[in-house]
Amino acid sequence: MVENRKIRKVFKSRPTLEGAGVHLRRVFGNSEVPLFDPFLMLDDFRNTDPYQYIKGFPWHPHRGIETITYVLKGDVEHGDSMGNKGVITSGDMQWMTAGSGIIHQEMPQGDNDGVMEGFQLWANLPRSSKMMTPRYRDIKSSQVPEVVTKSGAKIKVICGTVEGRQGPVRDIVIEPEYLDISLPALSEFIHQTPRGHTVFAYVIGGKGVFCNEKNPFAYDALGENYFDMKRDPYIHNGTAVLFDDGDQVTVSAEGEPVRFLLISGKPIKEPVVWYGPIVMNTEEELEVAFEEYRNGTFIK
């Protein structure tokens, strides 16, 4: 019997400051790690004011994780310690596996109107892969297949498979799926998800009903709507939904369209010791990483 996933928690993105002074919204992070395993963090860096993002993320190290950057509008210039450099622009994605260690920078530039829209997701690596050789996967928008379902949903398949169309990102340890889904008004979207995988959605436009739940904010992680007797049945732009286990996810759009990212991955179920951009399994491994960074032996 097919079981629909239900809402486990609802998370509203929160303003925060990162890098050299980039204003962004954090969807989830360090304190939510056990819930989102294998994912560590999701940041929403959509902004229309260049002064709030132009200082970017200057040179900094990563080890033990993968960083996944998806750009909707604008440009992000990047470079790294392996000599890679380039620009990801509207519709492009970069899947960077830091592995044993990489030092890089990411500098948002925005578009001609100063608009910068994108998201960065951090995924953990299991112990067996934490010290793997670093690698980049730059994906151009033209490489991403788009599927249109019978209900009218438009799905950009970055990672995973929808109706036989496979995304360009493959052979990733955590078996992830990364979909950008636009659902027209008065339509429904049902998607199969692997049992046991962590699955969440992040709404990036409009509003929708998830899991047929008419009282979603009863699951609000921050409890902001506890005393609101007229709770909104819709999940709005800037809000994430973490699902319980099950076989499929159901989303419906009623009076207006909804656009959301649907992301899933296989939990690692290992200890997470995290400080800054370094994520390892033990405090000792973390100390070694920072000592190597200080003495110049971080890059393998």
pLDDT of residue 136: 86
H-helix or E-strand spanning residue 138 = strand 135-139
The yes-or-no verdict on residue 227 having pLDDT over 80 is no
Tokens coding 16: 């925060």
Residues 186-207: tens digit of each pLDDT = 999 999 999 999 999 999 999 9
* 65-90 residues labelled b (16+ CB within 10 A) or e (exposed): bbbbbbbbbbbbebebeeebeeebbe
Range of the domain at 206: 7-295
Considering the domain boundaries, does residue 76 fall inside one?
yes
CATH (domain of 219): 2.60.120.10
Considering the domain boundaries, does residue 144 fall inside one?
yes
- The answer to whether 60 and 277 have CB atoms below 8 angstroms apart is yes
pLDDT of residue 231: 64
Considering the domain boundaries, does residue 146 fall inside one?
yes
Considering the domain boundaries, does residue 1 fall inside one?
no
Considering its fold, how many domains does the chain have in total?
1
Neighbours of 176 (CB within 10 A): 24
Model confidence, pTM = 0.95
Considering the domain boundaries, does residue 2 fall inside one?
no
pLDDT of residue 249: 97
Contacts of 34 (CB under 8 A, 6+ apart): none
Q: Which residue has the tokens 């992040």?
A: 202
Considering the domain boundaries, does residue 300 fall inside one?
no
Considering the domain boundaries, does residue 237 fall inside one?
yes
Nearest to 101 by CA among 56, 68, 60, 57: 60
pLDDT of residue 214: 80
Three-class SS of residue 164?
Answer: coil
